[in-house]
Amino acid sequence: MTKINCPSCGGEIPFRSSTSVFAVCPYCKSTVVRHDLDLELIGKMADLPEDMSPIQLMMSGRYKKKTFFVAGRIIVKYEDGYWNEWYLNFDDGSSGWLAEAGGDLAINFPVASGLKLEDRTIVKPGTNHKLDGKTFYVTDVKNMVCVGSEGELPFRGIEGRKSLNVDLSDRFGGFASIEFNEDDGVQAYVGEYVEFKDLNPKAFRVFHGWGRP
Amino acid sequence: MNTRSSRREKQIRPVVKSFNCPSCGATLNITAVGRTISVVCKSCRATLDATDPNFAILEHNAKMRTVKPAIPVGTRGTLGGKMWECIGFMQRGDSYGYRWHEYLLYNPYHGYRWLFEFDGHWTWFKRSYDLPDLSGTDVKYKGMSYKLFTKGSSEVFYVEGEFYWRVKAGDKSNVKDFVAPPYTISYEKSHDEEIWTHGQYLEPDRIKTAFKLKDNFFPEPVGIAPNQPSPHKQQAKEAFKYFFFAAVFIIGVHLFRSATALQKEVFRMNEVRVFPTRYGERKTLDDKVLRTETFEILKKKSNLQMQASANVNNSWIWIDPLLVNEETGKGIPMPVEVSYYYGYSGGERWSEGGHNKSRVIQNVPPGRYYLSIKTQVGGNVSRDVNYQLRLVQDVPVFSNLVISLILLLIYPIFKLMRRQSFEVQRWSTSDYSPYSED
């Protein structure tokens, strides 16, 4: 883990993941971009909208015999609400995402898609696409905008970052998503829907009176 | 409920977000903070935008006719070992006048579930993550086939509570329900979103117990629900299972009987000639009585089979032996008729009857016996008729086996019919009934 002092308040900003390029200062909410050991101050993060997610930064868990911790989060807004994308760092150095929307959780990992930005028009609901050797059906296409982030991220999770998001499903509980972003290009993710308790969560947010996960 | 326990209730129910309705000023709570998109004010029924810091009014619903939910919004209950709070309630319906109720349940760790109630029947719904296979006439989901039950449009008539989408009275969507009792798969399309949910029938009492509901507003189940498990299905299955075991047992007993039966010939009479009887001939019946030699039937209470055969051709013979006990003088009549007819008519050969006939009498006491035989022949008799008679003690009787099996089948078949009529009734409300005439 690398700790670099915040250029704004001097507090230590931990970079636990080697793939992270962006972080939000846990003390003063300054947003910084990492250039090796130097941090570039790019702005300030507004207060995040409250939510009732049991997931929080530094929560750890286990998925397919690999231990992970939650390194960061991006909150995105679309026409009909919000959802969370939690940035997971695994003990073998790999990373993934835990998408949390409307109480549903899906864990997913980056894969090569061969898609270009121009392909955004062909990825329509009902069409199917091969990702990671499996056939997925597009269930949902929506415009989303980042409304906030926390922790560390592999891209600039700044407010106003706009993307086109495509959700896909298969017949076996599989989940995939494709993100089209002007600056960061096209990134596809493949994974599956999961139940919170199946992630073996530790240090999650406790809600009193709601039983155990 | 006393004050103490109600205080405790309040303590374990932390209100996560509280605000005032911008329309009427009433204090409102949001439970699923960050997930709830719209809230309906419990006092003025205005729909508010939960994602807006000022809770902008999306719609005034003052004219919305109030519907009382069986599970009041805010009630918590434990189902399947998990705690759920009912946070939203909707009444929806279709153009035929059917009305059903949907309860949105929430737990921060487990997300959302739905309870669906129609005519007092409840179904537990969870969003389906696997896309069903729609390539055939039935929907396939996780290796099971679901049959289409209803298809149509539905409209929201009443809303209460908070929802993770923009809820609106008057919202229309297209719905399709597929069933494989106790399961059901529901498809819903509204705007540009398609949602599949998977449901399972729940006994009404489980809902009542889970949410500690009183009888007053709890609907009594009426009729048969599309995905209600048939009580007869299992019973019919079991009845056939027991039939199978009983049949195996009875066949076993029969085989054992066949293998161990004495089948001992106690009497035999070959080539007895009978002369044709003519009408008008003055002969008494006594003239034709034949008394046989005596024979012995062993000291075992068993059956006795008489086997008769005769060379009848387009004729008949009536053999009427009386099995007489020499000591008591008591006789048991054992009449048989052997007849055989054949011919050629309408371009086809036909035949009727046969040359052999047998009959069995039960429980013949041991002793010394003889036969006193009367005979009569008729039909196209041009020559004498010869017949043979054999008496065999202790024979296995195949018809006993057949009769037992038929009797045993009555109950399973009755159960099968009950099952069938249950299914016919279930599908009577569907346009896609596999039992309908057309």
How many Å apart are CA A123 and CA A136, to the nearest integer?
11
| Range scoring the smallest mean pLDDT among A178-187, B60-69, B76-85 | B60-69
Q: What is the structure's pLDDT at B267? A: 92
> What number of C-beta contacts closer than 8 Å exist between A and B?
94
Distance from CA of B118 to the nearest CA of A (A): 25
Closest-CA residue in chain B for A199?
A: B109
CA-CA distance, A28 to A181, in Å (whole number)?
28
Residue numbers in A near B165 (CB within 8 A): 80-81
d(CA B320, CA B67): 84
Residues of chain B found within 8 Å of residue A77, distances taken between Cβ atoms: 51
Q: What's the whole-number average pLDDT of chain B?
A: 87
What ipTM did this prediction achieve? 0.89
Entry pTM: 0.78
Give the model's pLDDT for residue A140: 86
Chain A environment of B192 (Cβ under 8 Å): 125
Interface test with B, best of A47, A48, A51, A52 (most B CBs within 10 A): A52
Measured distance between the N- and C-terminal CA atoms of chain A, rounded to whole angstroms: 30
pLDDT of residue B7: 42
Q: Answer whether B120's CB lies under 8 Å from A111's CB.
A: no
Residues of A with CB under 8 A from a CB of B: 49-54, 77, 80-82, 102-105, 125, 137, 139-140, 169-173, 175, 192-193, 195-197, 207-213
DSSP code, position A45 = P
Which pLDDT value is given to residue B411?
Answer: 92
pLDDT value, residue B62: 65
Task: Kindly report, residue by residue over A186-206, the tens digit of the pLDDT.
Answer: 999 999 999 999 999 999 998
pLDDT attached to residue B287: 54
Pairing of strands B27-30, B302-310: unpaired
Put simply, the answer to whether A52 touches B165 (Cβ < 8 Å) is: no
**Closest residue, chain B, to A204 (C-alpha):** B109
Of B37, B111, B130, the CB nearest to A103: B111
Tell me the pLDDT band of B130, cut-offs 50, 70 and 90: confident
B chain contacts of residue A170, beta-carbon cutoff 8 Å? 130-131
Nearest to B109 among A54, A125, A193 (CB): A54
Determine the Cα–Cα distance for residues B403 and B98; give it in Å rounded to an integer.
51
Question: Chain A: residue nearest B164 by CA?
Answer: A102
Question: pLDDT at position B216, please?
Answer: 74
**Each residue's pLDDT tens digit, B360-405:** 988 888 899 999 998 888 887 777 788 999 999 988 888 889 999 9
List pLDDT tens digits, range A66-100: 999 999 999 999 887 889 999 999 999 999 999 99
CA-closest candidate to residue B316, choices B261, B273, B276: B276
- Residue B5 clears pLDDT 60, i.e. is over it: no
Provide the shortest C-alpha distance from residue B115 to chain A (in Å).
16
Residues of B in contact with A54 (CB under 8 A): 108-109
Q: Do A211 and B193 touch (CB under 8 A)?
A: no
Percent of chain B with pLDDT over 90: 54
Q: Give the pairing of strands A134-153 and A22-24.
A: antiparallel
Residue B16 predicted with pLDDT over 90: no
pLDDT of residue B283: 45
Which pLDDT score, from 0 to 100, does residue B277 have? 59
What residues of chain B lie within 8 A of the CB of A166, using their CB?
none
Question: Testing the interface with A: which of B35, B105, B127, B166 to mutate, by most A Cβ within 10 A?
Answer: B35
Mean pLDDT confidence for B329-347 = 91
Residues of A in contact with B86 (CB under 8 A): none
d(CA B112, CA B32): 10
DSSP A121: G
Rounded average pLDDT over B266-281: 73
Q: Are A21 and A40 in contact (CB under 8 A)?
A: no
- Mean pLDDT confidence for B138-142: 89
What type of residue is A64?
K
> Residue A120 has what DSSP assignment?
G
pLDDT at B138 over 70: yes
Given a cut of 70, whether residue B211 has pLDDT beyond it is yes
Please name the residue of chain A whose CA is at the shortest distance from the CA of residue B163: A102
> Min CA distance, A41 vs chain B (Å)?
29
The segments of chain A whose pLDDT lies below 70 read none
What is residue B33's predicted lDDT score, i.e. its pLDDT? 87
Residue of A nearest to B85 (CA): A210
Interface test with B, best of A47, A80, A85, A207 (most B CBs within 10 A): A80
Check residue B14 and give its pLDDT: 52
- What size, in residues, is chain B? 438
Chain A residue whose CA is closest to B192? A140
* Range from B11-20, B339-348, B358-367 carrying the lowest mean pLDDT: B11-20
Q: Which two tokens stand for residue B431?
A: 């346009």
Residues of B in contact with A191 (CB under 8 A): none
How would residue B10 be classed by pLDDT, with cut points 50, 70 and 90? very low
**Neighbour tally for B144: CB within 10 Å:** 12
pLDDT of residue B309: 95
User: pLDDT tier at B197 (50, 70, 90 boundaries)?
Assistant: very high
Chain B residue at shortest CA distance from A83: B35
Residues of B in contact with A173 (CB under 8 A): 129-130
**Six-digit token pair at B271?**
């080539």
Selected residue with higher pLDDT from B65 and B132? B132
How far is A79 from chain B, CA to nearest CA, in Å?
Answer: 10
